[in-house]
Amino acid sequence: MHWDDLRIFLGVARSDSLSRAGKVLKIDPATVGRRISRLEEDLGAALFVKSPQGYALTGEGERLLIHATRAEQNFTLAMEDMRGEAGHLTGAIRIGAPDGSANYLLPQVCAKICDENPGLEVQIVALPRVFNLSKREADMAVTVSPPEAGRLLVQKVSDYHLHLAASEQYLSENPQIHSVSDLKDHRLIGYIPDMIFDKELDYLAAMKVDKVQLSSNSFSVQFNYVRQGAGVAIVHDFAIPSTTGVKRILMDDISLTRSFYLVRHADDRRVERLNRFANLLGQGIKAEVTRLEGLA
């Protein structure tokens, strides 16, 4: 068995698809399939079961995944050792994040890190769901709740604050809002209830309502509704400086505090490149939250 065989195996295991693995590995999907078949033949074991949902690992595949992941980490450690740890960060690092932080915090933070490390490539994957780090969907993830299961490294990065907000246009064209009870006369914006992927994003109780009129699983869509004067929503304070004409309301009545956590796979604790990047990212997020909330 060669490292290249394990590299292809990891690509399929993490993507559940020959075509997606081929794109990541820059190999034709048919070639990926042949290489997997040859590996299975060499090992005398079926590593995947094909289903309508894609390629799922068998028990033997799960066992090989443990060894292949360790081999990948050892390869990465060897590359770092040869390059020297004191130099600039290089290579690709993928971050998974909910779209609020992905749109309004991470771009400027990651751009600054890349300015200081010209050989670094940062990929931000913005999805309104929890990332599976065990399948290496990302090297690390920003979350709004600390995970309760899995072999993970969890670091609290920063608290952040949210308030009710609306555009000045909307407020001038609709009945005045003096108290939470006045919200019954206004169009509310929020998450689609059955698509809230984290309990910390369930803001309806704070607004003392049981439904919203305009909803999306994306905070960015909700914020664009607010910017366009469509209604009232719970908004991250750090997002407000990105636009004009949006103001916070009922700040004494509705004020939420949430937290960002940086989550990594426990096996990566020995990977110095990821350790250094995680420290820079955590410091950058905390500083940017503080800066932007001061402007809100």
CATH number of the domain within which 181 lies: 3.40.190.290
163: exposed, middle or buried (C-beta count within 10 Å: 0-12, 13-18, 19+)?
A: buried
Contact between 8 and 61 (Cβ < 8 Å): no
Pair (100, 171) in one structural domain? no
Full residue range of the structural domain in which residue 246 is found: 159-257
Pair (182, 208) in one structural domain? yes
Pair (105, 115) in one structural domain? yes
pTM of the model: 0.75
The torsion region of residue 54 among left (phi > 0), alpha (psi -120 to 50) and beta comes to left
Give the chain's mean pLDDT. 89
Cα first-last separation, the chain: 57
Pair (73, 144) in one structural domain? no
Hey, what's the torsion of the CAs at 119, 121, 122, 123, to 10 degrees? 180
Give the residue with greater pLDDT, 76 vs 226.
226
pLDDT tops 60 at residue 86: no
Contact between 141 and 93 (Cβ < 8 Å): no
Contact between 191 and 203 (Cβ < 8 Å): yes
The residue written with tokens 């060897």 in the block is: 78
Tell me what pLDDT residue 217 has: 92
pLDDT tops 90 at residue 267: no
Tokens of 256: 């939420």
> If we measure between CA atoms, which residue out of 165, 139, 167, 164 comes closest to residue 153?
139
53: exposed, middle or buried (C-beta count within 10 Å: 0-12, 13-18, 19+)?
A: exposed
CATH of the domain at 130: 3.40.190.10
The residue written with tokens 């081999």 in the block is: 71
**In Å, what is the CA distance from 39 to each residue of 2, 14, 107?**
10, 17, 40
Pair (165, 243) in one structural domain? yes
Contacts of residue 217, defined as CB under 8 A and 6 or more positions apart, other chains included, come to 128, 191, 192, 195, 196, 197
DSSP state of 270: G
Tell me what pLDDT residue 271 has: 82
> In this predicted model, what pLDDT tens digit does every residue of 173-216 receive, in sequence order?
999 999 999 999 999 999 998 888 888 888 887 788 888 999 99
Number of domains, the chain: 3
Pair (242, 281) in one structural domain? no
Tell me what pLDDT residue 246 has: 98
Tell me what pLDDT residue 123 has: 94
The residue written with tokens 């309508």 in the block is: 52
